[in-house]
Every structure is written in structure tokens, then in C-alpha cells.
Amino acid sequence: MRRLFDWLVAMIVLLLGRRRRKPPEVEERIVPHAPPDRRAETVLIFLFTVSAVCAGGFIAVVALDRIGNQTPYLGLSLGLSLAFLAAALVLLAKRLVVTEEIDEPYTPVEHPVEQAELDELIAESGERFTRKRLVTMAGAGAVGTLGLALAAPLVSLGPVFDLESFATTPWRRGRLLVGEDGRPLHADEIEEGTFYTAYAAHADREQLGSPLVLVRLPLSELHLPSPRERWAPQGILAYSKICTHAGCAISLYRYPLYPEAEPRPALVCPCHYSTFDPATGGTVIFGPAGRPLPQLPLAVGSRGVLRAAGNFSGPVGPSWSGVRDHKPSSPA
Amino acid sequence: MIRRAVRYLDRRAGMAPALKKALRYVFPDHWSFLLGEVAMYAFFVLVATGVYLTLFFEDSTAPTHYHGPYKPLDGMEMSHAYRSAVDLSFSVKAGLLMRQTHHWAADVFIAAIVLHLIRILCTGAFRKPRELTYYIGVTMLLLALLEGYLGYSLVDDLLSGMGLAIGYSVALSLPFIGPNFAALVWGGPFPGSGAFWSRMYIAHVLILPILIGGLLLTHLALVAARHHTQFRESPRHTERRVVGVPTFPGYAPRSLGLACAVAAVLFLLGWLVQINPIWLWGPYHIGSSTNGAQPDWYLGWLIGALRLVPGFDVVIGHYTVIPNPFWGGALFPLLVFGALYLWPRLERRLSGDYAFHNLVERPRDNPLRTAAASAFLTWVALVFVAGSADRVAVYFGLSYVGQIWFYRVFIWVGPAIAFFIAKRVCEELVAGEHAEKVRKAAEERAKAVFEQA
Amino acid sequence: MRAFALLVAGLALAAPASANSPGVVHARTGAELYAANCARCHGPHGEGYQAPKLQGVGALAADFYLRTGAMPLAEVGEQPEPSRVLFTERELRALIRYVAALGGPPVPTPHPERGSLSEGLKLFTEHCAGCHQVAAEGGFVTGARVPPLESATPRQIAEAVRIGPYLMPPFPESAIPSRKLDSIIRYVEYAKHPDNRGGWSLGEIGPVPEGIVAWVVAAVVLVGTCLVIGRRLRT
């Protein structure tokens, strides 16, 4: 009886318990399947090869000294090599790998649990302090002042507190004027209508106070302001060549061939076109300069050489806060 | 072989989970999201070509005399810096290509940042939680402007020397602290101490690149931490789920392809088109200048501002308080960058929208913001154009003084016009889309009715 | 950038204000040519009426103004600028001889081949670059347009330097001796086709065209590349 029962159970299990053979399972893929594209692949190989050839060309041009002006060939070969590589990669991206569109969650707005934990961590860590405000202030005082101390040596980057050097020029009474070539200038070689550049003799030319622009105008046309009537012997005027707006060299001089129909003589700066009138002491007649051009008093020395008769009428170069309160000085 | 590499990295650095996350990271792939990458790849080209240039450039202003292949400069007195740059251009293999590619890369770098900034502003990508990313981006723009200025000034040619003098005058014009500040930076009155050139050099080749690089990494890390924004292109694109292309295999070749394209364009320009031919300008001397001197394009807005401001120093009594270059050279850029920094805050305050946004809007979907951005950009662009009024006077014969007066008025009128035009265009486009939708729905209904009958 | 495009379009349509040469009256002798074309402003005997006097300016000035087409001028007070020469060669020679007879310096004979290129660059930068731009591409000064020198002949340069036309300052022999003038002219000749080994020179005027190329070429190509690589918005 037991035997029969076992056989029955076995048969039922065999018939019903047998699972249907599942079809071979499709593997869970990460990247979805897409068909190959042999044409695109061929083009890709071609593009890679051309890119390699161009890069090889670059190396060849660098190695070959014989080619004269190399820049065009170098640029062309390197540029094309990169361009072909770029094309290859874009082709790869669009045709030879699968462009999937998947989505994933944005990161959560915030993490309240961790935020709370951080708050708690900091609060509990500070529990041993009894006078939190005082300790914090003292600590901040220490670190802050130390930080300032570490930054303090930066003041030696420049004469932060001594601004006298800003108003110093190499000009003083008796200083000789020399031209670009270093020769002293003579009064009778300064002709009307044209302009000349001059520097202080025996002084560094590459400072704001050194370059001058000289012009000659008829004495009758001069209207220099009050203390400067004698600053232009024979009508020769000397002005700082450095524009009082932004420090460019004033290398333009407009001089009318036909004054009846043309604007009057003026020194102009090429940067922002500040225009200065030499006849009235360098006043600004157009442009963004806020200060007239500083004038240098001249004197005609022995044998007709031009010498400075003092320092400028005002500080040279671009303005700064308080500039009008400074008088230009010469180094000791 | 790849399997071996992966196994090696994972066993030594435990990197497999991080690599898997990075390689399956999702990028929304709208074309305008690639503009920031263009800037980044231009930065890589800058660093690469820049390193090459530092191997040859001498950063000294000590005088020397030229005796090289370029005849017009023969015997001329110049600084070592200028001479080494001329030698780079004439005597070093690939030197001129590297110099020109480096300079083109700087111009394109900042152009790409500006385009990227316009995209950010007009789509509202700077909104919470991405304000920090935005501030870092604006700071990178500021540093990039400074970096470019220092870079082309290091060469000490006539044009950039004039530009340095102008920079000095702007520093000097800061009320009260100007001369102290200028003395600090330059080490004395212009042209400064001998150490000034070293300061420019170390700032340009080390300090600023590290700062920009570090900020760039932070910028990218922040973008990655929060995921990139996306447009609401379908119901699948929500504030909670980002839809896009994974880094591998989809996005990486696209990105690398863009990198190569940027490098290709820059090197081809470095070959094809001459830029900053310093040997034609000659060396800088304090008593020399030339007509038509201009800064690089990204500082053109400042020369425009400096030329537009009328000629006055603010003087109280006898004390000069504010010299003229302050308005155009310092206050104007302060206002522009101030507006950029404050934009997220102002928009939140004015629109009342303090919410969290992962979706960005098309420009037309927020007409007020797009109009405001258009007005702001028009303002800066008009000041920029005013800076080349003298070239326009030369080529087209228009009166320079007339143009200056025109721009003085139009830089205020133009943005207002731009505002209204932009707002109207946005509204009309949206209305047009809505009308299309209504029409389509009506057609569907009609078709359904027809088919039933 | 929209405003910029509109501005450029507007300017391109604006009529350039270069000196319109009035039509010239053709004649046979120098005196007839003078009477018909010049006397109205310069006076019947070159004594000057609403224009500078021509007595004492010599063949130097006449050759310069007539061969560049700067004269005759349409309106008094306009800037004389180079334009088309409408006289025939025979008429030019007759007219120049007529003005030369009023007295003044002869036509100069410069020798740029004797000058030094490097001295020329130095002198040009010192005396000329402020207005004419260091690569002689021309420029602007308050009140005048400064012409580029790419079509100026050596003789015309020598003449202009001595005359100082319109608002240009005249440079006499004492300021720029002939030997130095030769160097300057040699440099200007060089500047017409300077060493542009870096590629397309964009006119040798500096960063303005460079910025235009960065935007119009590089930015366009790269934005285009982004459009190819990335996707457009699906509506």
C-alpha cells in the first residue's frame, strides 16, 4: 500500500512538478544592442589614418630644417590632424556606439538626517566650553591678527605710504634738453609747425616725468596763464609728453596749413583723443582728460641750448586722488 | 587587456564602483550645454601652448639690443621680454605657431565663456541650487580677463605697453586708495620697479592658471554633484529624474570629438590667420605711441567706456577726489560684474521664485528674464562698439565727435529698445506655439469626428 | 550683437565724406587750367582768397596735391584727400609748371634705397606713427582722417613731409634731414608689404579685426560643431 502511494506521489510530482524548459535566457545587457555599420567603420578607419598621416607630416616638418617659413605647414598639419581626429570621434559617437537615453534620479534636494547629525556633532563637541562667546572672540582675534600679520609684509611690494615719488620728475632748473639721439637741443632748430620729442639729459628716459613734446608758436598767439608768461622763450613751448588722462605718449600734433578754415594747433593723444591747446598752457579742448597738460618752463642758455627753468606746472601723468595738491619735485 | 586594466585599478585603488558610476553618469545632451566644454578645451590648449612658451620666454625688462633675422628691428633697444618674443616668432621651430595658437585660444576661450554665460542667463540655469556654480563661473570670467590682459602685456610691445599705462591710470584713479594701490602693484610710479614684470609673469603662468584650474574643477564637481540641468522636452524629463546620454559609450566620444575640434580650430587659426604681430609694432618705450592702438577684444568694452566719459575730474575745493578714468575703467566693470553676481538674488527677489529648479526654461518661456538679459548685454555691447568709433571714422567717414555723442545717448536708449523687442518676440513665439497646439488638437478632433461618420 | 549688426549696416549705407572731386575743366595752357579750376579759391594770381596762397609753394606742393587728386577740392574747408586724378598727364605738367613759376621749392628726389630700414622704423615711430599708425595703416586725429600710406609713392611722401597738408605738421629739413627722410620712405615702402609670416594679416591694425575673426570664424565654427554633436530641442 505504501509502495503504491509513493508511486502515485512520485508520478504526480513528475507530471506536475516538472518545469517547462525555459528558452535560453536573454542576458541582462547594460548597453542595448544595435546593428553594425561597416560603411561608417570604414570611414572611421580612413579618418584615423588621415589624421595619423597629418600628424606624421607635422613631425616631418619639424625635423626638416630646409623649409623656410615653417608656420603654415606646421599649423596646417597639426590642425588638420586634429580636425580629422575630431571628425572621426564624432562619427564614432553618432554611428558606431549606441546613443542611449537613460534616466536616473536627480540628487535629493537636501539630506536632513545628515544635516541634523552634523549640527548635533558640532553642538555636542562644544559642550565643554562655559564661555563660548569669549573664547570664540579670543580665538578669532588670534587667527585673524595672525592672518593680517602674514599678509603685512605685502606692503613692501611698493612705496605704499610714501607717495612723493609719484610727483618726482628729473627736471630742475638748468637741466639740459636732449633729443631722441641724445644731442642737446638748440632754440634756433625748433621751427614752427612741427613737433619735437625731448628728454632730460643724464636721466632715465623710461619714467613718466622725462619725455617732453616741444612746439613753437608765434608769441602773439600765446595766452599762457598768469605765472607762466615767461615760460616760453621765443614762443618755444615744452609740455609733458605723457597724457594726463591715462598715461599714453602724446605723439600727435595737428597744425593747420590754412588756419582760416582749419582748427588751431593742438597736441592730441592717440589713446582716447584727449586734445590739448599748447597756446593756452595745455588746456583740454576735447576728450576725457580732466587735467591740463603740465608745462615745463624753458630758458635759452649760452650758445642757444635749451634748458629747463624749473619743474613742471603740475604733476605729470594720469591723475590720482589729491594730485592737484602736489607740486612736482626733483630728486635730491 | 581592458579587463586586466580594470582589475588592476580596482585591486590597487578600489576604483571599480566609482568608475562604473562615472562611466554611466547621465548627461542631458542639448547642443547648448556643450558651450562650457568649448571654453574648457580652449583652456587646455592655453595651458599646453603656454607651457611651451614659458620654455623660451624671458620675463625681464632689462634693456638689450636686437641683432636677429628681422631687419627693421636691427640695433633697436628693447627689453629681453620683447626680444625673446620676437625670437620665438622668428627663430624657434613652431614658436610662431604656438604663440599665435596661444593668443587665438585666449580670444576664443573668453568668447566661449561669454556664449556659455548668455546660455546660463537666458535659460535660468543659475537658479537654486546652482547659484554657487554660477558665482564660480562669473569669477572664472573675471580671472580670465585679467589673465589675458597680463598675458599679452608680458610681451612688452608698443601696443600692450600703452595698454599697461592705461591699466595703471585706472588703478591710480581709485578714489583715495588709488596711488597706494598702484604703488603696491607696480612697486612705485609707472613703469614700476624691475620686479613688476616678475609679478606679472608669475601671476600669468602660475597663480592665475592654478586659480582658474581649481575653480574649474570645483565648477565641474558642483555640476556633477547636482547633475546638469535639462529642458522639459517630454513628460520623462522632470525635476526629479534627469534624462540623457551616459558618459560611456555615448558621451565620451562626443566630448573628445569636441575637444579635438576646438584644438583643431585653434591650431588652424594659429596657422592661417596672423595675430598680434609684435615685430611690426616695435618695442614699448614710455615716450612712444601709435594711432589705432586697441586692447584685445574682451577689453574693448573698457576702452569704449573710457572714451565715452566726458572730460572731468571730480574736484572738491582743491582736492582731486575722483580722477576721470575711474568711471569708465573701474566703476563700469564693477557695475557689470556686480550685476552678474547679483543676478540670481535679484531675480529671486523680483520674481518671488525661491524654489529649487533642475529644469531650465527656453528663453522664450521667460520673456522678462530674456528681455532683461538682452537689455543688459546690449548695454555692454554698445559701449564695446563705441570703442572702435575711430576706426569707423577712418573707414566710413562718420564724424568721431558725432559718434561719441550718439553713443552717449544710445547706450541708454538701445537697451530699452532691446528689452521691448526681446520681450515681444518671446511672447509672440510662445503664443504661436500655443496656437499651433490648439490648431492640432482641433484638427485631431475634426478627423476623429469625420472618421466616425 | 543685434545692435552691432544694425549699426554696421547703417554705416555701410552712409555716404563716405571723402572729398568729392568736382568735375575739372579741361584746357590747353597752364594759365587757362589755373583760371578755370583753381582761381576761384586760390585767387587769380595765386595770392590766396578762400584758400592758401600758392605763391612760394613751388612745384613740390603742386605736384603733391595734383598727382594725388587731393586738389581740386569741392568745398573750402573740407579735408583734401587722395582721390581720382581727372586731369591728363599733359594738363598736370602744365599746371604744375604754372604754379612753380609763382616761386617755391622744386619737386624732391628721394632715394629710399640709401636709407636704413631700422632707422626708418625708429624715425617713423617717433614722428609719424602717432597719426599714421606704426604700420602706416592710417588713423584718426581730432579734426581729420589720417590716410593710410599704401598707395603713396616715395616722391609723394617726401612732398607731404615738407608740406604738412591740412592738419599734418610740416617737417622742415632741420627737423628731418633728407638722409633720414630716405630711411622713413624706405620703411613706408616696406610697410606696404611687411613681413606677415603668421598668415593672413587682417590689415595690420591690431586687435579689432582679430576679435572679429574670433567671433565670426572660430565661434561660428565651434557653435556649429556643438550643433552637430548635440541635439536640438524636441518640441
What pLDDT does B71 receive?
93
| A318 at B interface, C-beta within 8 A | yes
Judge if C95 and C120 occupy the same domain.
Answer: no
Is B91 within 8 Å of chain C by CB?
no
Last residue of a domain, one of A73, A98, A123: A98
Given an 8 Å threshold on Cβ–Cβ distance, is A106 in contact with B96?
no
Residue of B41, B97, B262, B316 to mutate when probing chain A, most A C-beta within 10 A: B97
**C-alpha cell recorded at residue A247:** 598715461
User: Same domain for A76 and A173?
Assistant: no
Q: Helix H segments across chain A?
A: 2-17, 38-63, 71-91, 112-125, 132-151
The C-alpha cell at C162 is 615738407
- CA-angle at A306, arms to A302 and A312, nearest 5°: 130
B264-290: pLDDT as tens digits: 999 999 988 999 999 999 999 999 999
Average pLDDT over residues B417-423: 97
Whether A92 and chain B come into contact, CB under 8 Å, resolves to yes
- Check whether residue C112 and residue C101 sit in a common domain: no
**Boundary (domain end) residue, out of A51, A68, A98:** A98
Amino acid B385: pLDDT: 95
Any chain C CB within 8 A of the CB of A89?
no
Contacts of C4 in chain B (CB under 8 A): 381, 385
Rounded CA gap, C12 and C4, in Å?
12
In this prediction, residue C16 has a pLDDT band, given cuts at 50, 70 and 90, of very low
pLDDT reading at A24 higher than 70: no
Q: Does A27 score more than 80 pLDDT?
A: no
Among the four given CATH numbers 1.10.3720.10, 3.30.70.20, 1.20.810.10, 3.40.190.10, the one describing domain B27-340: 1.20.810.10
Q: Is A257 in contact with C165 (Cβ distance < 8 A)?
A: yes
Length of chain A as a residue count: 332
Q: A26: pLDDT confidence band, cut at 50, 70 and 90?
A: low
How many domains are contained in chain A?
2
Whether the pLDDT of residue A19 is over 80: the answer is no
Q: Supply the pLDDT for residue C6.
A: 55
* Higher pLDDT pick, A31 / C185: C185
Question: What are the start-end ranges of the E strands in A187-268?
Answer: 195-200, 212-216, 236-240, 252-254, 266-268
Average pLDDT of chain C to the nearest whole number: 88
**pLDDT of A164:** 85
Q: Are C113 and C91 members of one domain? A: no
Rank A169-178, B14-23, C74-83 by mean pLDDT and report only the highest: A169-178
- Angle value at C-alpha B419, between B416 and B424, nearest 5 degrees: 130
Contacts of B284 in chain A (CB under 8 A): none
With respect to residue C6, please indicate whether it lies within any of the assigned structural domains: no
pTM (predicted TM-score): 0.91
Are C73 and C128 contained in the same domain?
Answer: no
Q: What percent of chain B has pLDDT over 70?
A: 100
pLDDT of residue B307: 95
* ipTM given for this complex: 0.91
Question: Which stretch of A201-215, B20-34, B142-156 has the lowest confidence by average pLDDT?
Answer: B20-34
Residue C15 has pLDDT above 70, yes or no: no
Q: How far apart are CA B206 and CA A2, in angstroms?
A: 93
Name the C residues in 78-107 with CB < 8 Å from any A CB.
Answer: none
* Same domain (yes/no): C49, C92: yes
Under the banding of pLDDT at 50, 70 and 90, the label for residue A64 is confident
The confidence score (pLDDT) of residue C4 equals: 56
**Neighbour subunits, C (≥3 Cβ pairs < 8 A):** A, B
Q: Does A50 touch chain B (CB under 8 A)?
A: no
pLDDT tens profile A285-329: 999 999 999 999 999 998 999 999 999 999 999 999 999 988 898
State yes or no: pLDDT of C98 exceeds 60: yes
Average pLDDT over residues B185-212: 94
Instruction: Classify residue A108: in a domain, yes or no.
Output: no
Whether residue A294 lies inside any domain: the answer is yes
Q: Are residues C135 and C156 in the same domain?
A: yes
pLDDT surpassing 90 at residue B123: yes
Please name the residues in contact with B50: beta carbons below 8 A apart, sequence gap of 6 or more: B102, B205, B209
Q: For residue C9, what pLDDT is reported?
A: 53
Asked if residue A300 and residue A192 are part of one domain, the reply reads yes
High-pLDDT (> 90) share of chain A, %? 66
**Contact C231/A at CB under 8 A:** no
Pick the more confident residue, C14 or B40: B40
CB-CB contact of B386 with B309 (8 Å): no
Instruction: Over range B194-212, report the average pLDDT.
Output: 96
CA distances, C154 to each of A156, A286, C24, C192 (Å): 55, 34, 26, 12
C85 and C43 both lie in a single domain:
yes
With 90 as the cut, is the pLDDT of residue B235 above it?
Answer: no
C23 and C91 fall within a common domain: yes
CA-nearest of A6, A89, A4 to A47 is: A89
Asked if A155 lies within 8 A of B169 by C-beta distance, the reply is: no
Q: Would you list the domain boundaries of chain B? A: 27-340, 362-453
Contact B291 C142 (CB under 8 A): no
B370 has a pLDDT exceeding 90: yes
Percent of chain A surpassing pLDDT 70: 94
Q: Tell me the shortest Cα–Cα distance from C220 to chain B, in angstroms.
A: 11
Residue C18 has pLDDT above 50, yes or no: no
Answer yes or no: is pLDDT of A65 > 70.
no
DSSP at B34: G
Tell whether A56 is covered by a domain: yes
Q: Taking 70 as the threshold, does the pLDDT of residue B306 lie above it?
A: yes
Outline where A100-179 has alpha helix (H): 112-125, 132-151
Average pLDDT over residues B388-403: 91
Residue B33: pLDDT band with limits 50, 70, 90: very high
CB crowding B211-223: b at 16 or more within 10 Å, else e? bbeebbeebeebb
pLDDT of B39 higher than 80: yes
Q: Which residues of C touch A253 (CB under 8 A)?
A: 130, 169
Can you tell me the mean pLDDT for C54-79? 90
Q: Do C50 and A261 touch (CB under 8 A)?
A: yes
Give the number of domains in chain C: 2
User: CATH code at A282?
Assistant: 2.102.10.10
Contacts of A236 in chain C (CB under 8 A): none
pLDDT at C21: 54
- Same domain for A61 and A187, yes or no, is no
Cα(B35)–Cα(B217) distance, integer angstroms: 16
Measured distance CA(B114)–CA(A88) in Å, rounded:
28
Predicted pLDDT at A25:
56
**Rounded mean pLDDT of C113-129?**
95
Q: How many CA atoms lie within 13 A of A159 on its CB side?
A: 12
pLDDT score, position C2: 52
Pick from B277, B298, B393: which is nearest to C198 by CB?
B277
Q: Look at residue A30 in the predicted model and tell me its pLDDT.
A: 81
Note the pLDDT of residue C17. Answer: 39
Q: Which domain holds residue A291?
A: 167-325
Q: Chain A partners of B175 at a C-beta cutoff of 8 Å? A: 321
pLDDT confidence band for C108 (50 / 70 / 90): very high
The confidence band for A103, taking pLDDT boundaries of 50, 70 and 90, is: confident
Per-position b or e across A106-125, b if 16+ CB within 10 A of its CB? beeeeeeeeeeeeeeeeeee
**Mutation site, C142, C173, C226, C227, interface A, largest A CB count within 10 A:** C142
Q: Is residue C202 part of a domain?
A: no
Instruction: Identify which has the larger pLDDT, C10 or B120.
Output: B120
Identify the domain containing residue C178 by its residue range.
Answer: 108-194
Last residue of a domain, one of C105, C121, C138: C105
pLDDT of residue A70 exceeding 50: yes
Q: List the CATH number of the domain containing C81.
A: 1.10.760.10
